[in-house]
Amino acid sequence: DGGITQSPKYLFRKEGQNVTLSCEQNLNHDAMYWYRQDPGQGLRLIYYSQIVNDFQKGDIAEGYSVSREKKESFPLTVTSAQKNPTAFYLCASNPGQGRGSPLHFGNGTRLTVT
């Protein structure tokens, strides 16, 4: 079955360490996205990519970095520069062909930084 796989499901890190969250999709979607969700808040866009080797900053990109070397993969690195990294991180994809395509989500990575 096609889908989006995020790993790991839970991740614990010490403050000051960089950490990379994995996101892989086999839906043949061009566009991929990273969102962050904090309790009581809506999803906020961190980075998105419409095509391989290209990506754009979302609304809260500071302290994060991404790469898009393959269509299937869009890893997110949470750097030590991110002030409040503890959150639920969601990766999503859609065909990316114009407006109107809903997002398909992975099952998320819950990151805790102490």
Partner 1 sequence: RKEVEQDPGPFNVPEGATVAFNCTYSNSASQSFFWYRQDCRKEPKLLMSVYSSGNEDGRFTAQLNRASQYISLLIRDSKLSDSATYLCVVDSSNDYKLSFGAGTTVTVRA
For the bound state, the minimum distance from the C-beta of residue 102 to partner 1, rounded and expressed in Å, comes to 5
Binding mask 68-97 for partner 1 (x = CB under 8 A): --------------------x-x---x-x-
CB nearer partner 1, residue 27 or residue 31: 31
Separation between Cα atoms, residue 36 and residue 88, nearest integer Å: 6
Q: How many residues bind partner 1 (CB under 8 A)?
A: 26
Q: Which of 13, 27, 60, 104 binds partner 1 (CB under 8 A)?
A: 104
Instruction: Provide the residue type at 64 as one letter.
Output: Y
Instruction: Provide the residue type at 3 as one letter.
Output: G
State the Cα torsion 52-89-95-27 to the nearest 10°: 90
The answer to whether 60 and 76 are in contact (CB under 8 A) is no
CB nearer partner 1, residue 90 or residue 113: 90
CB nearer partner 1, residue 78 or residue 90: 90
63 near partner 1, rule: CB under 8 A: no
Residue in 114, 113, 97, 111 with CA at minimum distance from that of residue 34: 111
Separation between Cα atoms, residue 104 and residue 92, nearest integer Å: 5
Q: Which of 11, 27, 45, 60 binds partner 1 (CB under 8 A)?
A: 45
102 near partner 1, rule: CB under 8 A: yes
